[in-house]
Amino acid sequence: MKIVQIVLLGSLLAIGAGCGYSKPATTPPQAGTMPAVTALIPGNASAGTAFTLTINGSNFSSGAAVNFNSAAMTTMFVSANQLTATVPGSADTTSGTVPVTVTNPGTPGGIYGGGTLPETSAPVNFTIN
């Protein structure tokens, strides 16, 4: 009887070890949609002046953010080809040029990963007088 118990226990241990457990494979995020900026309206503003900036381009997502001199501005999605951003007077206090970019957010993946990465357009210079 003792031998039968040892054989059964050994069999159960072998089956359990053979099944094993590994965490699910994950898929890395894919490249997202790259936005492109073609025009800024207006193309310049006086230092210290608040204004609304219209950004024309392509591939803008509904969650896109306008970055004015590397700071995210309050952004309104108009269409996949146009955004508007509120630029406060405190964001443009020094004359010169500042870069304006658009960042499309990434999308989350599921339990096995995936999704997309955030993507940022090439900069377009805005002139502060």
68 pLDDT above the threshold of 80: yes
Q: What radius of gyration do the chain's Cα atoms show?
A: 27
14 pLDDT above the threshold of 70: no
Q: Which residue has the higher pLDDT, 53 or 93?
A: 53
In the chain, where the domains are located = 24-128
Query: Considering the entire predicted model, what is its pTM?
Result: 0.77
5: three-class secondary structure by DSSP: helix
21 pLDDT above the threshold of 60: no
Cα→Cα distances 72→2, 69, 86, 109, Å:
73, 8, 10, 24
Sort 55 into a burial class: Cβ within 10 Å, 0-12 / 13-18 / 19+: buried
Q: Which residue has the higher pLDDT, 112 or 7?
A: 112
For domain 24-128, give the CATH number: 2.60.40.10
pLDDT at 7: 63
19: three-class secondary structure by DSSP: helix
